[in-house]
Amino acid sequence: MTDLTQLTLAEARDALRSKTISASELTKAHLAAMEQARALNAYVLETPDQALAMAAKSDEKLAKGEAGPLEGIPLGIKDLYATQGVRTTACSNILGDFTPQYESTVTSQLWRDGAVMLGKLNNDEFAMGSSNESSSFGPVVSPWAPPNWSQDKLDAALKGDKKGLLVPGGSSGGSSAAVAAHLCLGATATDTGGSIRQPAAFTGTVGIKPTYGRCSRWGIVAFASSLDQAGPIARTVRDSAIMLRSMAGHDAKDTTSVDRAVPDYEAAVGRSIKGMKIGIPKEYRVEGLSEEIDQLWLKGVQWLRDAGAEIVDVSLPHTKYALPAYYIVAPAEASSNLARYDGVRYGLRVPGKDIADMYEKTRAAGFGSEVRRRIMIGTYVLSAGYYDAYYVRAQKIRTLIRQDFENVYHAGVDAILTPATPSPAFGIGEMGASDPVEMYLNDIFTVTVNMAGLPGLALPAGLSSGGLPLGLQLIGRPFDEEALFSIAEVIEQAAGHFKPQQAWWA
Amino acid sequence: MNATVDPKKLIKGATGDWEVVIGMEIHAQVTSKSKLFSGASTDFGGDQNSHVSLVDAAMPGMLPVINEECVRQAVRTGLGLEAEIHLRSVFDRKNYFYPDLPQGYQISQYKYPIVGEGKVIVDLVDGSQITVGIERLHLEQDAGKSLHDQHPTMSYVDLNRSGVALMEIVSKPDLRSADEARAYVTKLRTIMRYLGTCDGNMDEGSLRADVNVSVRRPGDPLGTRCEIKNVNSIRFIGQAVETEARRQIAIIEDGGTIDQETRLFDPAKGETRSMRSKEEAHDYRYFPDPDLLPLEFDQAFVDELKSHLPELPDAKKARFMADYGLPAYDAGVLVAERVQADYYESVAKGRDGKTAANWVINELFGRLNKEGKDVTTSPVSADQLGAIVDLISNGTISGKMAKDLFEIVFTEGGDPLQIVEQRGMKQVTDTGAIEASVDAVLAANPDKAEQAKTKPGMLGWFVGQVMKETGGKANPQTVSDLLKAKIGLE
């Protein structure tokens, strides 16, 4: 084995168990790759000392035969997860150098199971965005090079303003880029409207947003509480299943987490899908959907049919209302969740002549433009006189969207297959500058899943004409993540893996 | 509820009578070990910021988890107010910025409170009763405390109270005078103390009132109200109502109109001052807290709590009247505090209820009051007072001697019977000894004895003289009988 970063998570785990490799050398290989890839800006904080200490401890455990399910596996952690003693900023200036005294439930479960932390990953500020361009640490560059760019042009852009290089999606852009560029074996991510699935689709990686309540939200910086869910991004279906098992579980500290046994998701990988009913929702055939995405979708249908699944046409009639309703509910909750960043107790404080002035100056300086926009939208839709017209109606739509899915599942459908995104990755600085709604449309296929609280998995199924990854999305029944892993494995087997060009950024 | 206007309650203005209409929002701190949504302690008086969890400080990613004991306390209180208990209620966020509000919102209940309509029966000083409607009771978080006097240019924040559970109890506008307002809060506090759901300690801020006051001509529709915020003593509640009602009447009588606004009562200056107008009112942007599921429980949960409720003041009062033959006033005084009522019952059990009540209310309470003590710190135990009552009932001591005995027990302690024996305080019933004193007194005052034959009212003076002669130990009835016989009355 020449390059340990080329292993999948499952392969690395097996190699560690058989003592073919050590956790320390595996971690060192990743730390070296991270150093080489700093131009991608995937990590906002590297924690090599911590990583090596954790790896050494894993080696001891492996030697004693006390290995946990993720023993010695180096992971990247989205900067939205509170990590004890390690700076956590949600990639916002308002948190400054905030260093929590506590560890999020999900990451503490990963460490419990033996994983190694490599560092904190970039994301859109407070997870608001679909391109990772709103981060206070600057954009992340996708390891997928723009089609037909020369090495010189790539080098110049990397050193310069990065315009035209591709976005890794968002908000979990650091996670998807790090996984695609082999800077970790897997990464934690979060998904409020598509922030796991869209970046996975843009980078040829596998991401799953589990059912709302499957993972604890405790210790994860909140964006929109009723929509936020933690989940993994990894390079294979199996790897994401292994990670989710450690991340999921009930937590008494999160009232919305569900007390339900966590299945062995990996066991579902490779399970037959014969006889499963897969729904194809006609409403996702949106106007202007590109021919190549449509073709990819059809290919996916054929692969599943070949594997013995039954394909049925289904209708989710309220789909078209999902995006506008989402952009009321999510900002409304965000406007309230972000009120705590007031300069009084932690993070940034810009002095003012009185308390109101201090609030205004602190929040004006601390929040970026996208976050400010959403706070304003959210404040507006909750205001007296507008609440019923916006928030209440959006909640009604949410109920209707949930019912759409319930009706389909009630009719015996096991999972739904859709495209993950309406297009492949776009260039940095190319979208949303003049019209933020243009950027919001990236989430058109993913937000319904958050609105309904269902599990959704995105995985690569092919390449665009320009050679960029294209993803499909599987939507499951509540808490039936296992079905998604089984079906996704069929697609992965048929479609193969998609790797970016050699490390052109190094 | 109080449909007819009671002329006694009207306020006289320059142009005629006015009726004052009062509704109240009481903020009562729930008695619980930990806060509404965190495990931090609710103890009063800890070092600043010593009872603060990560949740109370609103650290990033922290989530609230409901404290079930606070839910039980709210349900108990609702039952004590004979109110409708809602098996499903919802927590909302009330959004506003203030340094002592770390989350930037208060978790409260807006549209769907845990307790709905109920009622409180309030006894007034004149012996009459009114029924005050309860609109709702909901659970909410308290804020922290801003300290503006610790530093010349900075304000400090103490979060010990941040997140402590409060019950906001909203009355209907059923109160018509300052007296009624005071009596209502007093009764509410009594009920909660009986239930053990709020200690009602106003000095520690466990009970605060927002008082809504408006005035109108009798029979007119409701006037524009002003809300007086955060009044923190029962006395001030009365003063605030009086002051605000007079202010409003003066404005209207001068041809002005009342602006709906929030005001503050300044007890030092005896005035209310504008805090903010309706236009400046916050838009709280209430919406259901997405971090918390709706609060749901079943009827069995309510029934279980109901089956363990203590006897409440109204029921206790009725029982004292029936079982101990007490007048309503005495029974009302005794049940005002559960510890008082319990003390009284220990004294009264197996004894004459009325005598016991007289001793507890007149002697004991009077004496305790003078010392600034209460029943819980009384130097005279219920057993000791019971023994004194027994010594009176069986004729061992006279009523007068009993007062001396009480004072000895109060100041020095000890067993009343032993004190009586050791100090020779026993009543003298030996007619021979008393007769000698009677004779001596009559012999010393022959003129008066003569006059008494035609003026029987003078007998009392002779009884007094004989009691003095005997050091108060003579049985007054025996003295009186002997005197009558010797003077020749009958």
Question: Is B370 in a helix, a strand, or coil?
Answer: helix
Q: B285 and A382 in contact by Cβ < 8 A?
A: yes
pLDDT at A475 over 90: yes
Tokens 């029966």 sit at which residue?
A: B121
Closest alpha carbon to A122 in A73, A64, A76, A57: A76
Residues of B in contact with A221 (CB under 8 A): 60-61
Distances (CA, A) of A145 to A156, A176, A195, A234, A501: 13, 14, 21, 20, 7
Query: Of A217, A356, A391, which has the smallest distance from its Cβ to B287's Cβ?
Result: A391
Whether B411 has a pLDDT exceeding 50, the answer reads: yes
Assess whether B246 and B151 both reside in one domain.
Answer: yes
Token pair of A22 as six digits: 């050590």
User: Is B1 domain-assigned?
Assistant: no
Note whether B290 contacts A226, CB cutoff 8 Å.
yes
Handedness of CA A452, A454, A459, A461 (dihedral sign): negative
Cα of B308 to nearest chain A Cα, Å: 29
How confident is the model over A2-26, as pLDDT tens digits? 699 999 999 999 999 999 999 999 9
Please, which residues 424-443 of chain B have a Cβ atom closer than 8 Å to chain A? none
Report strand pairing: B287-288 vs B92-95. Answer: antiparallel
Same domain for B66 and B212? yes
Residue in the structure block whose two tokens are 């090596």: A52
Identify the CA nearest to A314 among candidates A218, A383, A408, A248: A408
Q: Are residues B300 and B358 in the same domain?
A: no
Side by side, the strands of the sheet bearing A186-191 are A43-46, A116-121, A74-78, A186-191, A229-234, A206-209, A456-463, A469-476, A415-419, A277-281, A310-314
Task: Identify all chain B residues contacting A345, using CB atoms and an 8 Å cutoff.
Answer: 57-58, 102
Burial of B95 (0-12, 13-18, 19+ CB in 10 A): buried
Minimal CA separation from A442 to chain B, in Å: 25
Element (H, E) at B349: none
DSSP code string of A227-294: T-EEEEEESSHHHHHHHHHHH----TT-TTS---PPP-HHHHTT---TT-EEEEEGGGS-TT--HHHH
Q: Quick check: B105 and A339 CB within 8 A?
A: yes
Q: Which of A88, A337, A379 to mutate to test the interface with B (most CBs of B within 10 A)?
A: A337
Q: Are residues B413 and B458 in the same domain?
A: no
Question: Cβ contact (<8 Å) for A336 and B66?
Answer: no
Beta-carbon count within 10 A of B121 CB: 14
Which two tokens mark A5? 């970063």
Q: Identify the CA nearest to B404 among candidates B429, B432, B376, B424.
A: B424
* Coil, helix or strand at residue A418: strand
Are B185 and B65 found together in one domain?
yes
Q: Is residue B2 in some structural domain?
A: no
Percent of chain B clearing pLDDT 90 (strictly above) = 74
Closest-approach residue (CA) in chain A for B159:
A345
Residues in A touching B57 (Cβ below 8 Å) = 345
Nearest Cα residue in chain B from A98:
B60
Q: Which amino acid is at A67?
A: A
Contacts of A254 in chain B (CB under 8 A): 63, 65
Best mutation site among B38, B59, B103, B295 for testing chain A: the one with the most A CBs within 10 Å? Answer: B59
Best of A333, A340, A357, A362 to disrupt the B interface (most B CBs within 10 Å) is A340
Per-residue pLDDT, A1: 45
Q: d(Cα B35, Cα B164) in Å, to the nearest integer? A: 4
Residues within 8 A of A (CB atoms), B 363-402 only: none
B104 to A254: CB separation less than 8 angstroms, yes or no:
no
CA dist B185 → A295, B167, B245 (Å): 73, 14, 18
* Cα separation, B329 vs B124, whole angstroms: 10
Confidence category of residue B329, pLDDT binned at 50, 70, 90? very high
Shared-domain flag, residues B386 and B350: yes
Domain total for chain B?
3
Q: Kindly state the percentage of chain A with pLDDT values over 70.
A: 100
Model confidence pLDDT, tens digit, residues A369-416: 999 999 999 999 999 999 999 999 999 999 999 999 999 999 999 999
**Contacts B157 to A, Cβ<8 Å:** 344
Q: Does A392 contact B at CB distance below 8 Å?
A: no
Residue B324 sits at the chain A interface (C-beta within 8 Å): no
d(C-alpha A68, C-alpha A416), whole Å:
34
Chain B residues with beta carbon closer than 8 angstroms to that of A95? 60
Distance between terminal CA atoms of chain B? 59
| Residues B192 and B282 both lie in one domain | yes
Residue in B58, B103, B290 closest to A333 by CB: B290
Name the more confident of B430 and A304. A304
> A interface mutation test: which of B38, B56, B63, B162 has the most A CBs within 10 A?
B63
Cβ of A409: how many Cβ atoms within 10 Å?
21
CA distance B484 to B490: 7
Select from B57, B105, B155 the Cβ nearest to the Cβ of A345: B57
- Pick the last residue of a domain from B281, B305, B329: B305
- Structure-derived torsion over alpha carbons of residues A178, A474, A109, A51, reported in degrees to the nearest 10: -10
* pLDDT at residue A75 in the model: 98
Residues B454 and B341 in one domain: no
CA A336, A340, A343, A348 torsion-angle sign: negative
The answer to which of A197-211, A448-462, B55-69, B401-415 has the lowest mean pLDDT is B401-415
Residues in chain B within 8 Å Cβ distance of A256: 290-293
Residues of A with a catalytic annotation lie at 78, 171, 195
With CA atoms as reference, report the closest residue to A26 among A42, A38, A14: A14
- Establish if B166 belongs to a structural domain: yes
Q: Is the pLDDT of residue B2 over 60?
A: no
Q: Residue B351 has which token pair?
A: 């004894």
For A383, nearest residue in chain B (alpha carbons): B285
Query: Residue A430: CB partners within 8 Å, gap ≥ 6?
Result: A163, A164
Domain shared by B269 and B317, yes or no: no
Side-chain-side CA neighbours of A222 within 13 Å: the count stands at: 31
Query: Residue A186 and residue A178: Cα distance in Å, rounded?
Result: 8
Structural domain contains residue B416 = yes
Asked if A336 and B104 count as a contact pair (C-beta separation under 8 A), the reply is: yes
Per the CB < 8 A criterion, the answer to whether B29 and B73 are in contact is no
Query: Does B167 map to a domain?
Result: yes
Mean pLDDT of B119-134: 94
Which residue in the set A344, A345, A379 is minimally distant from B285, CB to CB?
Answer: A379
Provide the mean pLDDT of chain A: 97
Q: What is the pLDDT of residues B246-256, one digit of tens each?
A: 999 999 999 99
For B445, the domain range is 431-487
SS3 A123: coil
Chain A residues touching residue B287 (CB < 8 angstroms): 332, 336, 382, 387, 391
- Exposed / middle / buried, residue B74 (Cβ in 10 Å: 0-12, 13-18, 19+): buried
Contact B293 A255 (CB under 8 A): yes
Summarize the confidence of residues A309-336 as an average pLDDT. 97
Looking at the structure, tell me whether residues B258 and B333 fall in a common domain.
no
One-letter amino acid for residue B319 of the chain: R
Would an 8 Å CB–CB cutoff place B279 in contact with chain A?
A: no
Residue A280 contacts residue A416 (beta carbons within 8 Å): yes
- Does the bond joining B393 to the residue before it have cis omega, within 30 degrees of 0? no
Kindly report the number of other CB atoms within 10 A of residue B90's CB atom.
19
Residue A2: the pLDDT is 61
Tell me the pLDDT tens digit for each residue of A86-108.
999 999 999 999 999 999 999 99
Count of other CB atoms within 10 angstroms of residue B88: 10
Q: How far is CA B211 from the centre of its chain?
A: 18
* Rounded Cα–Cα distance for residues A191 and A189 (Å): 7
Q: Give mean pLDDT, residues B467-486.
A: 82
CB proximity under 8 Å: B 102-161 to A = 102-105, 155, 157
Measure B289 CA to nearest chain A CA, in Å: 9
Rounded to two decimals, the ipTM of the complex is 0.96
Q: Are B289 and B92 in contact (CB under 8 A)?
A: yes
B104 CB neighbours in chain A (<8 A) are 336, 338-340, 342
Q: What is the CATH number of the domain that holds B457?
A: 1.10.10.410
B391 and B417 Cβ atoms separated by less than 8 Å? yes
List the 188-227 stretch of A: residues with Cβ below 8 A of B.
217-222, 224-226
Contact B484, B443 (CB under 8 A): no
State how far Cα A320 lies from the chain centre. Answer: 23
Give the mean model confidence (pLDDT) for residues A275-287.
95
Nearest CA distance, B365 vs chain A (angstrom): 50
Together in a domain, B179 and B44: yes
Task: Provide the pLDDT for residue B490.
Answer: 63
pLDDT digits (tens, 9 = 90+) for A24-53: 999 999 999 999 999 999 999 999 999 999
Q: Chain B partners of A217 at a C-beta cutoff of 8 Å? A: 61, 63
Q: Which residue of B has its CA nearest to A101?
A: B54
Compute the CA torsion angle A52, A54, A58, A61 (nearest 10 deg).
130
Cβ-Cβ contacts under 8 Å, B286 against chain A = 382, 387
pLDDT at B79: 98
pLDDT at site B478: 82
Residue B217 has a CB neighbour count (10 Å cut-off) of 16
By CA distance, what is B106's nearest residue in A? A336
Record: contact B287-A384, CB cut-off 8 A: no
What is the spatial distance between Cα B382 and Cα B376, in angstroms, rounded to a whole number?
11
Contact pairs from chain A to chain B, CB under 8 Å: 95
Instruction: Specify the pTM.
Output: 0.91
Would you say A300 and A472 are in contact if contact means Cβ atoms under 8 Å apart? Answer: yes
Are A220 and B61 within 8 A, CB to CB? yes
Please report the domains of chain A, with CATH numbers, ordered by start residue: 4-261+278-317+402-455+468-495 (3.90.1300.10)
Nearest-CA neighbor of A420 among A454, A449, A446, A448? A446
Do the Cβ atoms of A345 and B104 come within 8 Å? no
Can you tell me whether residue B428 is helix, strand or coil?
strand
What is the model's pLDDT at position A101? Answer: 97
Residues B237 and B285 in one domain: yes
What would the 3-class secondary structure string for A420-466 be? CCCCCCCECCCCCCCCHHHHHHHHCCCHHHHHHCCCEEEEEEEECCC
Check B60 against A90: CB less than 8 A apart.
Answer: yes
Helix pair angle (B476-487, B459-469), 10° resolution: 120
